[in-house]
């Protein structure tokens, strides 16, 4: 039997995502009520610019006083889509204190202060849901928190930023340079006017922290995630990748160590074989590949950003939280019981593709091979091309630690026959 008294929702932020949340709540009101077991009512919308016309939003609901809105006491659920650290953190904490559960899309805040927010939610007996914080419409957080709760996840490997995937895909498919591809992404609206958060990997790193924490039942903060941007990726790197049967993606990689005693989380460009499912992810789409003991290999794919896809994830959380509210229950909170140490990048083991500029004369290859051997890095393949006294030497290693590779490269730079290190690229997905 449906309850007639509505559940009241406060919306913090009414931009691209927030306006879609408000629209869907209005246009799908009957369906949402049927799925929840009670009507949901948009009780207030906090914005910074109250004079802006917001189609489908009653101007009487609009306020600039977000704090007063979450303190009302009659609010059942607060939906936070304003982003950033403050005032979002204070508003979410205040919402818990005044009896509301929270649905958030705030990856930066959750990556930085997720533990404190979970603790506040638990203290007040409220829900904190955030499916929309990672990979837009793709169901990912809930499968990791619930569907795979009985399994042991060993690795999460994913493309979690649509802007960077669009740029790299354009470079791969057309031969465009980095700046040319970025300019096109900006013109099409895939990249922000300031694309730093995307192309330097900050956005993906925040998502990696969230995914690693859930997958490994361990607190992983943004500062724990190793990060490299993609601005240095060149057309020559793509040419080398193609010769290896690979392409290049900006990957978020969260791994459990082979002995199970620690975890790592990292974001960086990497070559990935064309046979791997992630290699075929095109345009601005996202995909996440999960490897676990019992389930084996799973892949989640779809649009990772945009108003409608992200709003879809928000509304899914809203339905779940409202159902919990009606039943007097809460959903799963933070699971950090494993408390595994988070290792640094130096302990990560993977393959490497190294391109060297060297002198074109006898003995160079032997010198280079000796340096690799002295640092315990095994060579898989070598390719050398020379002309007019100069040559390029491409070395692909077997799996080695990042620390060993760093020592190898430092020693290579000291060789008189090595003119420079043109590029270093990790090889993943094998």
Active-site residues, by number, are 207
Please give the Cα distance from 313 to 290 (Å, whole number): 20
Element (H, E) at 17: helix 16-27
Please give the Cα distance from 430 to 424 (Å, whole number): 18
Maximum distance among all Cα pairs of the chain, rounded to whole angstroms: 86
Angle between helices 307-327 and 16-27 (to 10 degrees): 60
Q: Which of 114, 126, 124 is nearest to 89 (CA)?
A: 114
Do residues 268 and 233 make contact, with C-beta atoms less than 8 angstroms apart? no
- Cα separation of the two ends of the chain: 53
Q: How far is CA 397 from CA 270, 327, 344, in A?
A: 14, 56, 21
Residue 177 phi/psi, 5-degree rounding, is: -75, 170
Long-range contacts of 236-241 (CB under 8 A, 24+ apart): 236/355, 236/422, 236/423, 237/423, 237/425, 238/171, 238/172, 238/175, 240/271, 240/353, 240/355, 240/394, 240/423, 240/425, 241/271, 241/353, 241/425
Do residues 403 and 346 make contact, with C-beta atoms less than 8 angstroms apart? yes
Please give the Cα distance from 353 to 220 (Å, whole number): 29
Would you tell me how many other CB atoms lie within 10 Å of the CB of residue 187?
Answer: 9
Q: What is the secondary structure of 182-230 as a DSSP string?
A: HHHHHHTTSS-SS-HHHHTSHHHHHHHHHHHHHHHTS---GGGSEE--S
Please give the Cα distance from 78 to 81 (Å, whole number): 10
Helix (H, G, I), strand (E, B) or coil at 268: strand
Residue 425, classified by CB atoms within 10 Å of its CB into exposed (0-12), middle (13-18) or buried (19+), is: buried
């Amino acid at each position: 039997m449906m309850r007639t008294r509505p559940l009241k929702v406060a919306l913090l932020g009414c931009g691209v995502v927030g306006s879609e949340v408000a629209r869907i709540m209005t246009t799908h009101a009957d369906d949402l009520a049927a799925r929840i077991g009670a009507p949901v009512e948009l009780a207030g919308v906090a914005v910074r610019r109250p004079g802006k016309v917001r189609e489908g939003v009653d101007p009487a609901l609009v306020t600039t006083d977000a704090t007063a809105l979450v303190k009302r006491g009659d609010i059942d659920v607060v939906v936070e889509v304003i982003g950033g650290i403050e005032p979002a953190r204070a508003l979410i904490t205040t919402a818990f204190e005044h009896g509301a559960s929270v649905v958030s899309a705030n990856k930066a805040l959750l990556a930085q202060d997720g533990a404190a927010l979970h603790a506040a939610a638990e203290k007040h007996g409220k829900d904190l849901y955030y499916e929309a914080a990672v990979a837009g419409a793709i169901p990912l957080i809930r499968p990791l928190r619930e569907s795979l709760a009985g399994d042991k996840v060993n690795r999460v490997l994913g493309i979690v930023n649509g802007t960077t995937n669009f740029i790299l895909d354009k470079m791969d498919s057309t031969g465009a340079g980095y700046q040319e591809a970025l300019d096109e992404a900006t013109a099409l609206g895939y990249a922000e006017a300031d694309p730093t958060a995307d192309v330097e990997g900050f956005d993906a790193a925040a998502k990696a922290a969230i995914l690693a924490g859930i997958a490994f039942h361990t607190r992983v903060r943004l500062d724990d995630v190793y990060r490299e941007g993609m601005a240095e990726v060149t057309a020559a790197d793509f040419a080398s990748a193609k010769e290896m049967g690979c392409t290049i993606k900006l990957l978020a990689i969260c791994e459990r160590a082979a002995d199970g005693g620690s975890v790592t989380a990292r974001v960086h460009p990497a070559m990935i074989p064309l046979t791997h499912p992630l290699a075929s992810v095109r345009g601005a789409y996202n995909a996440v590949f999960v490897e676990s003991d019992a389930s084996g290999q799973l892949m989640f794919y779809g649009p990772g950003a945009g108003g409608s896809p992200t709003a879809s994830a928000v509304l899914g959380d809203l339905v779940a939280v409202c159902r919990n509210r009606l039943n007097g229950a809460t959903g799963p909170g933070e699971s950090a019981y494993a408390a595994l140490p988070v290792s640094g990048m130096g302990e990560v083991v993977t393959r490497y593709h190294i391109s060297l500029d060297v002198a074109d004369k006898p003995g160079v290859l032997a010198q280079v091979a000796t340096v690799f051997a002295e640092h315990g890095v095994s060579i898989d393949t070598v390719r050398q091309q020379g002309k007019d006294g100069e040559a390029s030497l491409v070395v692909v290693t077997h799996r080695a630690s990042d620390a060993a590779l760093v020592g190898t490269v430092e020693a290579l730079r000291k060789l008189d026959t090595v003119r420079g290190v043109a590029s270093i690229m990790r090889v993943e997905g094998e």
